[in-house]
Each structure stands twice: as C-alpha cells, then as structure tokens.
A = this chain, B = another copy of it.
Amino acid sequence: MPRTTAARRPRAPRGQGERLRADILDAAGRLLADTGDEAKVSIRAVADAVGVTPPSIYLHFADKDALLAEVCDVRFREFDRVVESAGVAADADPLAGLAARGRAYVAFGLANPEHYRLLFMTRRAPVASGADPWEGHEAGRAAFEHLVAATARAIAAGAIAGEPTSVALQLWAAMHGVTSLLIALPGFPWPDPDQLVGDTMRTLVAGLRP
C-alpha cells in the first residue's frame, strides 16, 4: 500500500513560513495518535501528511529529535491543561479536586495512549547532574507543580496528612501505574478502568487520612 499522499500544500506567502512549522507539529502529533506507533512517525511520513517534501522539515527543526521533543512539549501542555481544569472545577472540596485530577489523568492517558506513552513511558535522557532537571520540560514542571499545589491544599484543609511532595509522588505513581499498565498490556483481563481507578484512589485517600 503506497502512502496516502496528502494534497500538495501551496507555498506559504512571504513572511508566513512559520505556519508550516505549526502544521508539522500538528501533523506529527496526529500521526502518532492515529498510527499508534512511534516508529511510523518518520520525517518522510510527517512531510507527506503535511503535503510537503522531507527537506522542508529541516527548515523548521534541526533534526528528528528536535521535532519529537517539541511534539512532546505541545502534548504535555495539553495534558496539563486538561487535568488541571478538571481539578479546578472540583476544587471546592480539595479531596474531590484531587480525585478529579486522578480520574482526568487516567482518562487522558487512555484516550491518547500514544501521546501518554511519549510523555511518560519513553525514556527521557537524564540531564547533567547539577543542571535544572526541568530544563526544556517547562510544561512538565508546571504539571507537577499543579499536582503538588492541589495536594498541599488537601493537606492544609485537613483532608489528608503528609508532606505535599511525598504525597503527590505517591498519587502520581499510583495513577501512572494504572494508566500505563492498561496501555501496555491491553490483553490482560482488566476490570473496568473506572473501578480500578476508584478503588486505588479510595485506598490511597484512606491510607493518607490524618
């Protein structure tokens, strides 16, 4: 089967070259989600999806890694926005806010498994020790800080006990555990995901009660 070639994209007018950049990022993200396979996101495939020739990609990104890193960043921002807004909507009760974040976290992962895989299941190079570990991952930093803040509010309200960062890590690890197992092992006889998330959340909250 030959690659489905998109219509040839008309050349951008002068000064609008940056539009192609945005289209490339978008196409790469969609390609990843649609094929469900990071190996299928090749420079050629992305160029084809956008309707442009492969060398054009290099007018906007240094190399393939730079492109993927930026796709990752864009999707991370989306992830943070979705999870945080679900949490904020329920924050009247800080515990409900945390639970809503957990549910939204898992739901995002299951709805966008390949994006989730790229964000949280693919090895991201460790930065040099001493450097800022968040350098180049500002969206990641924001997402984590949002979680720590929500956790701190629940602690301040007396709903749970513990040190905010430690508790946030436990919640994150548990929700990530559920999400990534469901994504990695779809053949396993899982119970209903909602129930698994609910049970896990209830156990954690009970265990963290002051």
Contacts and interface: CB of A to CB of B under 8 A. Distances in A.
A37 to B, nearest CB: 9
A127 interface: yes
A102 B189 CA distance: 21
Contacts of A188: 133
Given A175-B177, A196-B173, A207-B202, A187 B125 contact: yes
A124 to B, nearest CB: 6
Contacts of A208: 203, 206-207
B172 A120 contact: no
Contacts of A120: 181, 184-185
8 contacts: A120-B184, A122-B184, A124-B184, A133-B187, A133-B189, A173-B181, A175-B177, A205-B207
A53 interface: no
Contacts of A185: 120, 123-124
B181 A172 contact: yes
Given A177-B177, A177-B178, A208-B207, A170 B123 contact: no
Nearest to A183: B123
Mostly helix, strand, loop or mixed at chain A's interface?
helix
A54 to B, nearest CB: 21
Given A184-B121, A184-B122, A191 B166 contact: yes
A123 B181 contact: no
A169 B177 CA distance: 10
Contacts of A199: 166, 169-170
Of the listed residues A137, A172, A204, the one surrounded by the most CB atoms of chain B closer than 10 A to its CB is: A204
A207 B171 CA distance: 13
A196 B177 contact: no
A126 B187 contact: yes
A200 interface: yes
Nearest to A137: B187
